[in-house]
């Protein structure tokens, strides 16, 4: 009874940019906002309070079931008002490791509040290629009641880097929404969808271009379609010209959701042999569209891909194997379709919004 009464005081969620930018963490944050609002409404709790550090007021949608406030450049105001709000809440969710110091300030203002941190991937790997662990973070992280990690891979890397006990972590996978799959006819397209920022070299789109060059040499007809925009596009286009496959690599840039659905409908398979995925939500999206997938072996994506059942995991440095798996899926459309459907069924059974909400409810229920 005491736990219910404490929770009834309310929930606070602190996040970085959430509605003002497009990206995996931003979509995750929006899903957290929606799930917390539903959970609070279902249980008769007060409306959850959401403080978004970097968004501005114009970014915020009208959500009657949640009190959302954007702070833009007013960082001190964000900290002060979050600390004040924490005094009327029993649970504080932190959307990013960068908000850990603010969480500790809130803990000082409300010593009985429970702290939960969401972690997504390379921001907690202590990898200099992406983000170094701050010297103060391991000590601060010991104040957390739970760390909700999108994958076991990310949880294990953070646990070792931060020297944290395993019992602090809970697996909290990402999710996607149901779709109405568009009918289409495969034209032997290999699809990849990724941001092409400079720090996204770990997506290893260059490996796909090299594999396409091998397939061209072996007279395997195919086209690699790259959806995404960023500084890496010029570098990758130069590689395609260098390997004489510029006619087999299409850079489609940013596309609308409707446009992307049409591109998925015309694809034979989805491939992204990344080495930097903290989870791999793009593979869930590809499966919903009925595509088999090829992921990398060096990150969290290999956790969700069942080898030979709904996709293949390939070392991104092994261009020969990558090309061979791509050729196999292109040559056997029946097998590819069956693998895509196996993936789609997996998504429907465990990676939709209702599962995301249920997993969040479990974390809330077990907080001490």
Read off the pLDDT of residues 328-347 as tens digits, 9 standing for 90 and up: 999 999 999 999 999 999 99
The structural domains of the chain, with segments of one domain joined by +, span 2-175+352-366, 189-350
pLDDT the model gives residue 186 = 65
DSSP 8-state secondary structure symbol assigned to residue 283: H
Most confident among 3-12, 37-46, 126-135, 153-162 (mean pLDDT) = 153-162
Same fold, 2-175+352-366 and 189-350: yes
> d(Cα 72, Cα 110) in Å, to the nearest integer?
25
**Confidence tier at 62 by pLDDT (50, 70, 90):** confident
| Mean pLDDT score of the chain | 94
DSSP 293-305: EEEESSSTHHHH-
Q: Residues 303-325: pLDDT tens digits?
A: 999 999 999 999 999 999 999 99
Per-residue confidence at 180, pLDDT binned at 50, 70, 90? Answer: confident
Q: Given this model, what pLDDT does residue 64 score?
A: 65
The pTM (predicted TM-score) of the whole model is 0.92
pLDDT of 3 reads 45
Question: Residue 125 has what DSSP assignment?
Answer: T
In a 13 Å sphere around the CA of 92, the CA atoms on its Cβ side amount to 33
CATH numeric code, 2-175+352-366: 3.40.50.2000
Query: Residue 14 and residue 49: Cα distance in Å, rounded?
Result: 9
Partners of 153 in the beta sheet? none
Return the CATH number of 189-350, one of 3.40.1670.10, 3.40.50.720, 3.90.550.10, 3.40.50.2000: 3.40.50.2000
pLDDT, one tens digit per residue, over 207-226 is 999 999 999 999 999 999 99
| pLDDT band per the 50, 70, 90 thresholds, residue 6 | very low
Do residues 296 and 273 lie in contact, with contact meaning Cβ atoms separated by under 8 Å?
Answer: yes
């Amino acid at each position: 009874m005491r736990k219910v009464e404490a929770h009834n005081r309310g929930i606070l969620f602190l996040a970085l940019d959430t509605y003002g930018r497009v990206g995996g963490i931003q979509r995750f944050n929006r899903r957290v906002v929606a799930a917390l609002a539903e959970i609070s409404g279902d249980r008769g709790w007060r409306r959850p309070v959401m403080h978004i550090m970097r968004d501005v007021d114009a970014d915020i949608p009208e959500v009657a079931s949640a009190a959302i406030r954007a702070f833009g450049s007013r960082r001190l105001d964000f900290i002060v008002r979050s600390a004040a709000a924490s005094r009327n809440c029993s649970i504080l969710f932190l959307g990013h490791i960068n908000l850990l110091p603010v969480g500790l300030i809130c803990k000082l203002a409300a010593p009985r509040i429970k702290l939960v941190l969401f972690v997504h991937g390379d921001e907690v790997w202590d990898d200099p290629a992406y983000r170094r662990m701050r010297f103060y973070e391991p000590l601060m992280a010991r104040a957390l009641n739970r760390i909700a990690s999108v994958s076991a891979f990310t949880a294990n890397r953070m646990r070792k880097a931060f020297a944290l006990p395993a019992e602090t972590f809970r697996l909290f996978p990402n999710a996607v929404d149901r779709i109405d799959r568009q009918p289409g006819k495969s034209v032997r397209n290999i699809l990849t969808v990724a941001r092409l920022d400079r720090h996204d070299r770990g997506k290893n789109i260059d490996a796909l271009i090299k594999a396409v060059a091998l397939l061209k040499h072996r007279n395997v007809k195919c086209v690699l379609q790259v959806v995404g925009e960023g500084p890496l596009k010029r570098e990758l286009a130069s590689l395609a010209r260098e390997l004489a496959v510029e006619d087999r690599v299409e850079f489609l840039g940013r596309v609308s959701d409707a446009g992307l659905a049409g591109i998925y409908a015309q694809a034979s398979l989805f491939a992204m042999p990344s080495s930097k995925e903290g989870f791999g939500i793009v593979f869930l999206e590809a499966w919903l569209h009925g595509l088999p997938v090829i992921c990398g072996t060096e990150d969290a994506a290999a956790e969700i891909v069942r080898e030979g059942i709904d996709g293949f995991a390939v070392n991104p440095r092994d261009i020969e194997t990558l090309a061979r798996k791509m050729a196999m899926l292109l040559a056997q459309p029946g097998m590819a379709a069956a693998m895509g459907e196996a993936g789609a069924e997996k998504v429907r059974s465990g990676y939709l919004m209702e599962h995301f909400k249920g997993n969040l409810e479990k974390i809330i229920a077990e907080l001490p």
